[in-house]
Structure 1
Amino acid sequence: MSSKSFSNEKGEFKGQSSIFREMISSEHPVYKPAKGRYWLYVALTCPWAHRTLITRALKGLTSVIGCSVVHWHLDDRGWRFVEAGDEKTDKRNWFDVAGGITSIRLNNSTPAAGICNDSHRLLTDGTDEPHYGYKRLSELYFKTKPDYDARFTVPVLWDLKTRTIVNNESSEIIRILNSSAFDEFVGDEPRQVNLLPQFLQPQIEEFNSWVYDNINVGVYKAGFTESAEAYEREVTNLFYYLDKLETLLREKYARLEAEYGENSKDKILAHYYVVGDRLTEADVRLYPTIIRFDVVYHQHFKCNLATIRDGYPSIHTWLRNMYWRHNAFQHTTDFNHIKLGYTRSQPRINPLGITPLGPKPDIIPI
């Protein structure tokens, strides 16, 4: 999230590779499925963490894998937790869709002028760390690897039994959660959810490949560049692929309209997804970037050739359909954390730390 050390000598964005890459399965010698054994640490401002929260909710794992939320403000020491002090927190909060954050169901962000970066509103700015009383996410990294010397990123999938990080790569965490590993602990309905059906996997993989590099990471390549030449190249490339996505979804809607009739909007939207006619991993991986586009990336990362709501009607329809149709998407989207997290945590991009009021509303009803 922070822009510190994200650019190479040419002023181009350069990300960081995850190093904790274990899986969870009944066949694994150490990390076996169990209810209450694993814990997810996330930031609601972070798109990579967001995809794991969505998957956790879709798969009915909110009562199986607990969740803690770091403070939205990322400083030079990394992510921090909100200390509880003498306050008592209902332990059921840890198994909420988004770790018990009380502001999560607000569809519009609130003015930020009166909110300080060191604000410590428990269950609003973040949660405390319930297992070890840690103040920083970095403590989990050092507990796992005392000589760890890279950035302390979210999400983190943690094993309470061995007290180690299982995985901190979001694309792998969502596949762990989507697998059948935890099926015995959930009901019939979430057990039927499969975000990576075998017959669609080649299409999903192909879609993910160009979306990841050109849209998911594309906004960061545009936003974190430190040269005008690199910025113009990256923002042009980003919008080329947004155009490609718009064409794909426009053609998808036209096909569904021909199949169900132009007056059958509910039927059309029930099948309006980016790959196939069902909700898949491709939607889960795309959504966190697109939901942040108008409220953050358009102005903060200078991705301002167009907004989604005004320039991409098919993507906009898909986005609103995801948000309003699925609680797992809506109830894990906190526009306050998103806007504050970016505009207050990246002083090289936004040195005054002023958080824009708009656009309003953050998400338009469908």
Structure 2
Amino acid sequence: MGSLSLAPSLALAAKENLHSYHPKSRLKEYIPAFSYDEARLVAKLNANENPYGPSPKVVKAISESVSSGNRYGHGEAKILIEMIAEKEGVTPEHIMMGPGSSDLLEKTAFVQFMEGGNIVSADPAYMSIMRTAQALGATWKPTPLTLDYQHDLDAMAKEVDSDTKLVYVCNPNNPTGSITDPSKLKAFCSKTSEKVPVFVDEAYLEFLDDPEANSVVGLVAEGKDVIVARTFSKIHGMAGLRIGYIVAQPERIKSITSKVRSTMGLCVTSLNGAIASMSEQSFLANCRKMNTECREYTASEISSLGYDIIPSNTSFMIFPIAMEGQPFLKGMYDEGVGVRVFNIDDKPWCRVSMGTMGEMQQFVETFKKITA
């Protein structure tokens, strides 16, 4: 089966049961045209969740802090912010907390696009901040990924104009799982941030073997107008506990917190869980190891069937499938396997999150059955 190029193309044709991200986007998502009970899934592989977390120490910390639920968590937030600041090499004034990084993406959009403007990003990309920007009246300037699925930084730089209020980069990228060369990205962020703030979403960074080498957070310490987002939802296994943060210049942080709340939206239980997880390096390393093993197994099995998978650096992978998206989606869910199906350049693609090895074996067997 030949590989499907993500080269520039026209807007996608509308299809039944497709959720449109934007008329100009090359990416849309199939919404299930059937009812299902997610609790009955034997393999829930549709939301990029960590199947191994939270760690036992995090569970203990959360359990012990429930009795403090009558108090606000401002003290715990201060402790966590100081821990994060030390880890990232900045001051506490460079940190803003929120209930997950998506919340912080949206809050940034609210502040940046209150008076319109445009946002520049790759396409396909994680669409949260673009959706919010457009809802506020801004326009989106999508830039196709390169043929090897990296951000086309030169093309993105050319899209920046006097109306651009923000440039968004998701690295590693969702939904493609691909990574952009760190040295080129750092140079791009450094130069572009002299004109406009650059928001780099590093939600999946910690699944890389050397996350620090691929992060642009050092640019913040250098004084660059770069915003870096991280989350406890992915490798920390705390998706349902909702906690994340951004690292940015204090002036940029103040521009957001002067309009929206920060730590007020956080639970004392989640804060204590995140504090405990910060020191759980062995747990995180083990999650990374098991994720890699499952990803390599799944990629090998699916590739052996003739499918071309985009090399992934994350907790998910995506590849084009040879049947219509809606029947494929229903077939997988009917067998108890939840996945996501996207339409990219008018072709259906399956995005599968990494579960346990047993869940990935279930996925492979179900995939073979549905596509036979």
Q: Is the shorter-chain TM-score for this pair beyond 0.5, marking a shared fold?
A: no
TM, length-normalised to structure 2? 0.29
TM, length-normalised to structure 1? 0.29
